[in-house]
């Protein structure tokens, strides 16, 4: 085993070790288990955005739409169809992912700012539908009246509703499953093709790669990951509201990816940790918490353009 391989393995062990034991070490630093669940879910959302932006080079400002659709579909399934947490997750993932894939087929020929603006437009359509459709979504008050349900395996039962530690580990398993699939795709020939498109689209087209088809597949997969994160977020809060579909949340996901290290696999998760923890702490201290986060983002973009993870790697190799 090469030294580089050993370092990579050590980093993976450190990451998963920190995540597995988070409910036990977080309280020592003033954290709490529910915050860890929130970090994992939003981190997965940031990684879904980075899957498209960081590895394909396509910027979407409307990804919150698929996040919100996943949350609403999960909540509506639990409320009106069946009291099953796995069914709610599957429904949320399918609704958000399929909707994203269908609309993505209309967008793949656009590039740059045009693609980003059209995704905002579609996202805002879903936002205003959720805001106005009071009888189904609850409007500005949000969708209530549902809750995550225990997992019943006949021989034993896992209480996800009242036990935050059990729910954290449920979220961690879901996160690991999604991240594993994401890593497998990025290491596949398709993942290498995504990077080729990001680096030089004209050359990739010259080599015979069907650019629009590959971008549509990457966009659809990203939507499925985002919808899965949205469904999990509905379970975290036992609540869904129109702000989950707003383009400002898409901006938050992009900020997390840039802050942690765009074009890296684990960077968005690190960015989500910094963003969510700071948001949780600063919002309890001042109503102007966004000003401090904004200053931090400006400093990172100016002095550490590769994000926090890029800075750590640079210091390690120095």
Low-confidence ranges of the chain (pLDDT < 50): none
Residues 56/27, Cβ–Cβ less than 8 Å: no
* Spatial distance between the Cα atoms of 53 and 218, rounded to a whole number of angstroms: 10
> Shortest CA distance to 34 belongs to which of 149, 142, 145, 171?
171
pLDDT on residue 79: 93
Kindly give, in sequence order, each residue whose CB lies less than 8 Å from that of residue 23, ignoring residues fewer than 6 positions away: 33, 36, 164, 165, 168, 169
Q: Which residues of 181-220 are buried (b: 16+ CB within 10 A; e: fewer)?
A: ebeebbeeeebebbebbbeebeebeeeeeebeebbbbbbb
First-to-last alpha carbon distance for the chain, in angstroms, is 23
> Shortest CA distance to 100 belongs to which of 139, 160, 151, 52?
52
pLDDT on residue 198: 92
* Spatial distance between the Cα atoms of 159 and 150, rounded to a whole number of angstroms: 5
Over the stretch 221-272, which tens digit does the pLDDT of each residue have?
999 999 999 999 999 999 999 999 999 999 999 999 999 988 899 999 999 9
pLDDT on residue 192: 94
Over the stretch 104-126, which tens digit does the pLDDT of each residue have?
998 888 888 888 899 999 999 99
Q: Which residues of 238-272 are buried (b: 16+ CB within 10 A; e: fewer)?
A: ebbbbebbbbebbebbbbbbbbbbbbbbbbbbbbb
Kindly give, in sequence order, each residue whose CB lies less than 8 Å from that of residue 213, ignoring residues fewer than 6 positions away: 108
pLDDT on residue 306: 80
* Spatial distance between the Cα atoms of 292 and 278, rounded to a whole number of angstroms: 9
pLDDT on residue 308: 78
Provide the H-helix boundaries in the chain.
Answer: 3-20, 22-25, 33-56, 64-76, 85-107, 112-132, 134-137, 164-187, 189-199, 201-206, 211-237, 247-260, 267-283, 289-303, 307-317
Phi, then psi, of 302 in degrees rounded to 5: -75, -45
| Structure tokens belonging to residue 269 | 């998760």
């Amino acid at each position: 085993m090469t030294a580089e391989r050993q370092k990579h393995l050590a980093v993976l062990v450190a990451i998963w070790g920190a995540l597995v034991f988070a409910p036990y070490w977080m309280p020592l630093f003033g954290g709490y288990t529910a915050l860890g669940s929130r970090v994992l879910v939003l981190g997965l959302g940031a990684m879904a955005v980075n899957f498209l932006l960081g590895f394909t080079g396509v910027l979407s400002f409307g990804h919150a739409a698929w996040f919100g659709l996943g949350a609403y579909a999960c909540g509506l399934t639990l409320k009106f169809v069946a009291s099953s947490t796995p069914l709610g997750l599957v429904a949320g993932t399918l609704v958000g992912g399929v909707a994203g894939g269908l609309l993505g087929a209309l967008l793949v020929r656009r590039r740059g700012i045009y693609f980003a603006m059209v995704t905002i437009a579609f996202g805002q359509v879903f936002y205003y539908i959720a805001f106005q459709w009071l009888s189904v979504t609850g409007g500005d008050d949000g969708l209530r009246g549902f809750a995550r349900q225990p997992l019943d395996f006949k021989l034993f039962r896992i209480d996800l509703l009242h036990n935050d530690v059990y729910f954290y580990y449920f979220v961690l398993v879901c996160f690991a499953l999604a991240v594993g699939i994401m890593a497998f795709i990025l290491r596949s020939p398709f993942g290498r093709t995504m990077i080729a498109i990001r680096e030089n689209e004209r050359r990739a087209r010259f080599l015979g790669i069907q650019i629009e088809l590959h971008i549509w597949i990457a966009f659809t997969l990203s939507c499925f990951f985002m919808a899965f994160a949205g469904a999990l977020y509905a379970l975290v809060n036992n609540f869904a509201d129109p702000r989950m579909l707003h383009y400002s949340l898409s901006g938050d996901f992009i900020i997390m990816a840039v802050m942690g290290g765009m074009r890296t696999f684990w960077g968005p998760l690190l960015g989500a940790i910094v963003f969510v923890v700071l948001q949780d702490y600063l919002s309890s201290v001042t109503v102007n918490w966004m000003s401090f986060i904004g200053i931090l983002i400006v400093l990172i973009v100016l002095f550490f353009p590769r994000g926090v993870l890029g800075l750590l790697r640079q210091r390690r190799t120095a």
